[in-house]
Amino acid sequence: MDLSYFIQHTLPILLVELGAAVAGTYYIRKNDRLKSTTYLVLFLWITLLVELMGYYAGIAHFTEYKYFAFVKGTLFQSNYWLFNCYTVLSFSFFIYYFRSFLRAASWRLLLAGFLVFFIVSSILSFFITDTFFTSYSQFVSLVGTLLLAISIVLFYFELLRSDILLQLKRFLPLYISVGVLVFNLCITPVDIFSEYFKNNTFLVELKVYVYLYANIFMYTSFIIGFIVCSKKKRSY
């Protein structure tokens, strides 16, 4: 792998992230601004910023530290620290996002408890293990995906009990849920087992393509949702 390969397989992700953030901004400008939707669009812009910041590690590595030489030999030589923080933020945000659409107080309380548990346990896991600077946290990926799946399932149950089914095609959170669920179900197994095939070229390349297409699917789902739902007067 070289710098051109790195850019070739990460640039499409940046473009769909930018597209989702722009489409989301257009959506909230055209529709009523619910707090959850505004936070979602803000999160998409934060995601794009984090992705751009994370580029430093790849550029440094593939240019043999001609650029960003100051990180060589430090704990920040890789960008694991950045994306471990982002992963906790991402799972926490989407659990909060889908919780905001639940009406049952018991379900909302349950997810609030899960969310507190996840954040605290994730921080503790970074202190207990040495993964924060050296690899993606398997604990965060596994527990985060499990709790996110639970929050989305509860969200779907809420849909079945409401009259939103009559206008489901233009219900934005549905598009978000499909994109997020498929993305995490695809990449979580890769993250969990990636430590065991670091030296296997084929599996490393497979991981690159899984990340690429999973990201494209998720952010394309977001873009389609923003565009389709922007045609209605009320936003969610």
Integer Cα distance of 159 and 170 in angstroms: 13
Ordered by start, the domain boundaries in the chain are 3-229
Angle between helices 105-128 and 138-160 in degrees, nearest 10: 170
The two three-digit tokens of residue 156, written as one number: 């779907």
pLDDT digits (tens, 9 = 90+) for 43-68: 999 999 999 999 999 899 888 889 89
Integer Cα distance of 165 and 235 in angstroms: 15
pLDDT digits (tens, 9 = 90+) for 130-179: 889 988 899 999 999 999 999 999 999 999 888 777 788 889 999 999 99
Q: Residue 209 burial by CB count (10 A; 0-12/13-18/19+): exposed, middle or buried?
A: exposed
- The proportion of the chain whose per-residue pLDDT surpasses 90, expressed as a percent, equals 67
pLDDT value at residue 112? 96
**pTM of the entire predicted model:** 0.92
Annotate 5-62 with DSSP letters as a single string: HHHHHHHHHHHHHHHHHHHHHHHHHHS---HHHHHHHHHHHHHHHHHHHHHHHHHHHH
pLDDT value at residue 230? 87
pLDDT digits (tens, 9 = 90+) for 14-23: 999 999 999 9
Taking the alpha carbons at both ends of the chain, their separation in whole angstroms is: 43
- Rounded to an integer, what is the distance from CA 217 to the centroid of its chain? 12
pLDDT digits (tens, 9 = 90+) for 190-229: 888 776 776 677 777 888 899 999 999 999 999 999 999 9
Integer Cα distance of 11 and 18 in angstroms: 11
